[in-house]
């Protein structure tokens, strides 16, 4: 079965087992490595991507669920790092090791798309699925607010 | 003394040529000595290359795992050189002894080589200046270098670095003692916010970590390892695994002999076309395991074993002043407490991963390693190759915390790649990562203090029991001097009678170093106990802590009552134990946190201080109650680390250390039953999430031109006791066992 989807704005046909998690299709088949593996069980958020604008964990999302839909990864958020969140992330110097940050940014992008001026509680609530072991959370909050113009 | 004079034309003009291949006039013996323990500043070409275009390449020979070395080391060299940062390319070094020590561990990337890095930049600057002075026929001393050029101010002439590269290449490298550093005021990076060099790549997903390396025809392996350290495959049937579409082979890996050291754990590698097929193939394996000697290990029972060991008595005395036994016997009041801390896992966000290719009698690996030279040696040994036949490329590390110093996962990739005759990526799952770690040691400590009738502390008796890291590497059955100096034998105490005794403890799993190592549990017990003493004495905890530390002074070995201190590899003359620095960071943290006003403000604060890795750090933590349990609402951390290279990265390391330490103290625990790890993912090995982190973490660094101390680790140790002391202030319940979630509700 071939899965047809839009990947970062381009149409894409995936000839893989429809049960394969989207994470591995993105990384191993399409070669887009910005989406990270962290836990495989939707516990850490490192693999966060958007399907039709909704933040989802690619590690537990079968490829078939993306059939006919539009998938955005960190590589598709902007072509040049110009998304307000990416700019804010650099300006605040949020990352330490950086491994979780694409997932953090994708979670934040889905939040701001719905709530352009989120409260602290809304940031915490919508980002609580994204773990950062380096402990950059204070700067993650600051970067989200900066991107939101708060 | 024999000098090695190198022709630098090639290194300055070209990339990728090794210095040893270009040596002229050096004897083989001198070359061999230089290769073994190179004087780095006499080989600046290894680190810095200036192209005729003017582009400058600077090597970062340490591993980037979030602490900011790639944003700090090249910037420091470039600053001494006088290079324009926008014309500097950073080159990540492979593992090679020509770079000196590359082990990114022990918080030593700056403290261990600050002056060396500056001298490397200065040596190249002096060669460029010498080339310009020669061309202008003016004295060297009349020329200066900055902004990527050499200037002769008197005649208003200048030459760009690129235009001088080939002439500079023909000049001798200055002798180490002739290298002149810039005055500190000339360093443009000093106190400035430096760019985060990998920031743009990270936020666009272009940054390359271990799992992002792609080789042609690369296969992916996931390994089923014995659940118990020292166990082995009893029997297996791979039929169902081989029936999974995409699975190519199952490769059996031998179980290691004791001591386990850095050796892989053995098991069955399922090799497939991609990650998902490999994972499914492993899940389909029909395998049973031999448990081996550690199959009865139960961490809950082991806690009692450690307590027994504390009671049964010491293996030796490591610190003694006066007569603690007599002073305790005659004390008006005794304060006694026993503290326990659990195993912890590193749980780096990037699970372990390595890519290897074995071809034509050589092996090449790509991996997120903290110790590329160690990885090179282990891979060479496992494959029966010479180290020169092994190349270790270092990717970015998605966290390290000490786990990625251990190359077991890299050796696995090399072994599997050789077995299948194709490039292989060995991918650890999160379950693998948590269940096959080199765990932070579990500890028990008993502290007894004697007070006289006036409340003065007359005696201090500290017994510690924990399986040593050396149990993994040498089968040791008691803590090492290096572990005990981390907050026990090096602890300043203005108490006349002191006795410190480590007790026996046998390792039943792989014990390894985790960020801050033994400092973490030592500081927890010691700084909690000092807080207990404050309450026993009816004193303010800060006043009591200052009283226990005593007046400002440099503490001698005699005062400590120890024969020697490893002192993190540095002489005490260069890095003494200075209680004035403890006091200053404490007072500053207390001031920032409003310690003296905490009563009026209704705040529950805890405070602690700890010196580790030659840096002094004080922490204050504020807690409050909420319907969901205890909340940490604010934290302050102040460090005196001597000279700082990149203040922004230092502050973020300190903030990160607070989160790392709070997470462990509140929630962190690895438990073991029947020799195997119970926790399997972030569901049951809980770490802090954004909503659990204080709204503000205030980090401050003391301005100093002193010798640099470490940064990556020293922020961690004082945080857990500051938290525990704050919990006592809030609830009146003393935390004597971590994590706090064992006994109290944590929001």
What pLDDT score does B35 carry? 54
- The three-class DSSP label of residue B598 is helix
pTM above 0.90, yes or no: yes
| Domain extents in chain A | 3-77, 84-147
Per-residue pLDDT tens for B460-475? 999 999 999 999 999 9
B contact test, residue of A29, A99, A103, A139 with most B CBs within 10 A = A99
Per-residue pLDDT tens for B254-277? 999 999 999 999 999 999 999 999
Average pLDDT estimate for B75-101? 97
Give the residue among B570, B574, B708 at the shortest CA–CA distance from B184: B708
Q: Which band of pLDDT confidence, cut at 50, 70 and 90, is reported for residue B8?
A: very low
The phi and psi torsions of B190 (rounded to 5 degrees) equal -60, 120
- Closest chain A CA to residue B432: A39
Give the Cα separation of B509 and B294 in Å (integer): 7
Residues 6+ apart with CB under 8 A from A103: A35, A36, A38, A44, A45, A46, A47, A48, A130
Q: Which band of pLDDT confidence, cut at 50, 70 and 90, is reported for residue B36?
A: low
Q: What share of chain B has pLDDT > 70, as a percent?
A: 95
What pLDDT score does B315 carry? 81
CB < 8 Å to B719, chain A: none
- Cβ <8 Å between A74 and B245: no
Task: Give the distance from residue A68's alpha carbon to the nearest chain B alpha carbon, in angstroms.
Answer: 22
Give the Cα separation of B282 and B267 in Å (integer): 11
Topology match between the domains B210-287+352-427 and B313-344+439-742: yes
**Is B34 in contact with B110 (CB distance < 8 Å)?**
no
**3-class secondary structure for B300-313?**
HHHHHHHHHHHHHC
Question: Is residue B25 pLDDT above 50, yes or no?
Answer: no
Question: Which class in CATH covers the domain with range A3-77?
Answer: alpha beta
B351, B660, B683 member nearest A37 (Cβ): B351
- Cβ <8 Å between B688 and A120: no
Give the residue among B127, B135, B95, B179 at the shortest CA–CA distance from B11: B127
What is the rounded radius of gyration, in angstroms, for the C-alpha atoms of chain B?
Answer: 27
Give the Cα separation of B300 and B673 in Å (integer): 8
**A-B interface: how many C-beta pairs under 8 angstroms?**
190
- Closest chain B CA to residue A84: B203
Q: Which band of pLDDT confidence, cut at 50, 70 and 90, is reported for residue B509?
A: very high
B contact test, residue of A34, A45, A97 with most B CBs within 10 A = A97
Question: Is residue B294 pLDDT above 80, yes or no?
Answer: yes
In this structure, are strands B676-677 and B353-359 parallel, antiparallel, or unpaired? unpaired
Give the Cα separation of A77 and A102 in Å (integer): 10
User: Given CB atoms, is A88 within the 8 Å cutoff of chain B?
Assistant: no
- Closest chain B CA to residue A130: B689
- Closest chain A CA to residue B278: A24
**3-class secondary structure for B223-239?**
EECCCCCCCEEEEEECH
Q: Is domain B5-201 in CATH 3.20.20.10, yes or no?
A: no
Instruction: To the nearest 10°, report the CA torsion of B58, B59, B63, B67.
Output: -20
CB < 8 Å to B682, chain A: 39, 41, 43-44, 131
Which CATH number among 3.10.50.40, 3.40.50.720, 3.30.365.10, 3.20.20.70 corresponds to the domain B313-344+439-742?
3.30.365.10
- What is the CATH T-level fold of the domain A84-147, as seen in this structure? DNA polymerase; domain 1 (1.10.150)
Task: Identify each DSSP E strand in B533-614 by its residue range.
Answer: 554-555, 577-578, 604-612
Give the residue among B87, B6, B1 at the shortest CA–CA distance from B42: B6
| Domain extents in chain B | 5-201, 210-287+352-427, 313-344+439-742
Per-residue pLDDT tens for B604-653? 999 999 999 999 999 999 999 999 999 999 999 999 999 999 999 999 99
Per-residue pLDDT tens for B679-697? 999 999 999 999 999 999 9
Question: Is residue B364 pLDDT above 50, yes or no?
Answer: yes
CB < 8 Å to B697, chain A: 138
Give the architecture (CATH level 2) of B210-287+352-427. 2-Layer Sandwich (3.30)
């Amino acid at each position: 079965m071939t899965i047809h989807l839009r990947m970062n704005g381009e149409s894409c046909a995936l000839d893989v087992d429809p049960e394969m998690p989207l994470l591995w299709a993105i990384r191993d088949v399409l070669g887009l490595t910005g989406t990270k593996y962290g836990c495989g069980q939707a516990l850490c958020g490192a693999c966060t991507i958007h399907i039709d604008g909704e933040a989802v964990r690619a590690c537990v999302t079968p490829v078939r669920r993306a059939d006919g839909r539009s998938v955005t990864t960190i590589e598709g958020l902007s072509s040049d790092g110009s998304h307000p969140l990416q700019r804010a992330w650099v300006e605040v110097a949020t990352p330490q090791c950086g491994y979780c940050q694409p997932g953090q940014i994708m979670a934040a992008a889905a939040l701001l798309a719905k709530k352009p001026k989120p409260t602290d509680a809304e940031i915490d609530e919508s980002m609580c699925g994204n773990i950062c072991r380096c402990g950059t959370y204070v700067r993650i909050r600051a970067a989200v607010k900066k991107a939101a113009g708060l | 003394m024999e000098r090695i004079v190198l022709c630098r034309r090639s290194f300055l003009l070209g990339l990728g040529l090794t210095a040893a291949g270009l040596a002229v006039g050096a004897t083989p013996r001198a070359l061999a000595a230089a290769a073994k323990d190179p004087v780095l500043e006499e080989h600046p070409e290894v680190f810095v290359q200036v192209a005729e275009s003017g582009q400058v390449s600077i090597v970062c020979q340490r591993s980037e795992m979030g602490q900011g070395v790639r944003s700090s080391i090249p910037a420091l060299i470039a600053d001494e050189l006088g290079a324009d940062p926008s014309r500097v390319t950073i080159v990540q070094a492979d593992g090679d002894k020509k770079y000196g020590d590359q082990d990114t561990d022990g918080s030593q990337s700056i403290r261990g080589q600050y002056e060396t890095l500056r001298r490397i930049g200065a040596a190249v600057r002096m060669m460029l200046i010498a080339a310009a002075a020669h061309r202008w026929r003016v004295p060297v001393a009349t020329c200066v270098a900055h902004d990527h050029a050499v200037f002769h101010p008197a005649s208003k002439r200048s030459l760009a670095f690129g235009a001088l590269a080939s002439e500079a290449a023909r000049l001798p490298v200055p002798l180490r003692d002739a290298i002149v550093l810039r005055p500190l005021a000339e360093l443009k990076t000093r106190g400035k916010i430096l760019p985060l060099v990998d920031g743009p790549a990270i936020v666009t997903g272009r940054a390359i970590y271990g799992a992002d390396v792609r080789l042609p025809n690369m296969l992916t392996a996931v390994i089923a390892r014995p659940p118990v350290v020292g166990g082995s495959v009893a029997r297996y049937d791979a039929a169902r695994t081989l029936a999974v579409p995409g699975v190519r082979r199952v490769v059996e890996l031998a179980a290691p002999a004791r001591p386990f050291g850095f050796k892989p754990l053995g098991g069955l590698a399922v090799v497939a076309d991609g990650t998902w097929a490999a994972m499914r193939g492993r899940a389909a394996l029909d395998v049973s395991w031999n448990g081996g000697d550690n199959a009865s290990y139960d961490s809950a029972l082991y806690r009692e074993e450690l307590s027994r060991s504390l009671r049964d008595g010491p293996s030796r005395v490591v610190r003694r002043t006066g007569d603690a036994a007599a002073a305790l016997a005659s004390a008006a009041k005794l304060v006694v407490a026993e503290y326990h801390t659990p195993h912890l896992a590193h749980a780096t966000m990037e699970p372990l991963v390595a890519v290897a290719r074995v071809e034509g009698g050589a092996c090449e690996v790509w991996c997120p390693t903290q110790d590329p030279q160690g990885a090179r040696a282990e891979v060479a040994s496992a494959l029966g190759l010479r180290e020169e036949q092994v190349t270790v490329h270092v990717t970015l590390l998605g966290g390290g915390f000490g786990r990625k110093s251990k190359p077991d996962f890299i050796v696995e990739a090399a072994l599997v790649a050789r077995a299948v005759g194709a490039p292989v990526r060995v991918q650890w799952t999160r379950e693998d990562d948590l269940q096959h770690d080199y765990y932070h040691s579990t500890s028990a400590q008993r502290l007894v203090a004697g007070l006289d009738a006036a409340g003065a502390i007359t005696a201090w008796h500290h017994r510690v029991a924990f399986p040593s890291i050396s149990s993994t590497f040498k089968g040791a059955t008691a803590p090492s001097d290096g572990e005990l100096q981390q907050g026990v034998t090096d602890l300043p105490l203005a108490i006349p009678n002191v006795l410190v005794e480590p007790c026996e403890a046998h390792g039943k799993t792989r014990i390894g170093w985790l960020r801050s190592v033994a400092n973490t549990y030592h500081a927890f017990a010691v700084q909690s106990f000092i807080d207990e003493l404050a309450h026993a004495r009816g004193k303010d905890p800060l006043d009591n802590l200052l009283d226990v530390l005593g007046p400002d002074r440099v503490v001698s070995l005699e005062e400590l009552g120890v024969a020697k201190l490893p002192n993190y590899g540095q002489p005490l003359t260069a890095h003494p134990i200075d209680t004035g620095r403890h006091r200053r960071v404490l007072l500053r943290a207390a001031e920032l946190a409003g310690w003296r006003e905490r009563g009026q403000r209704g705040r529950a604060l805890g405070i602690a201080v700890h010196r580790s890795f030659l840096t002094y750090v004080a922490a204050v933590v504020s807690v409050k109650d909420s319907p969901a349990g205890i909340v940490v609402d604010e934290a302050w951390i102040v460090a005196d680390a001597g000279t700082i290279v990149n203040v922004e990265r230092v502050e973020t390391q300190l903030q990160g250390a607070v989160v790392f330490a709070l997470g462990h103290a509140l929630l962190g625990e690895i438990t073991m039953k029947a020799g195997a790890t119970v926790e399997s993912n972030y569901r049951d090995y809980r770490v802090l999430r954004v909503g659990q982190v204080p709204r503000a973490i205030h980090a401050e660094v003391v301005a100093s031109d002193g010798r640099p101390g470490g940064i990556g680790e020293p922020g961690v140790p004082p945080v857990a006791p500051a938290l525990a002391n704050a919990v006592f202030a809030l609830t009146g319940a003393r935390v004597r066992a971590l994590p706090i979630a064992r006994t109290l509700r944590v929001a």
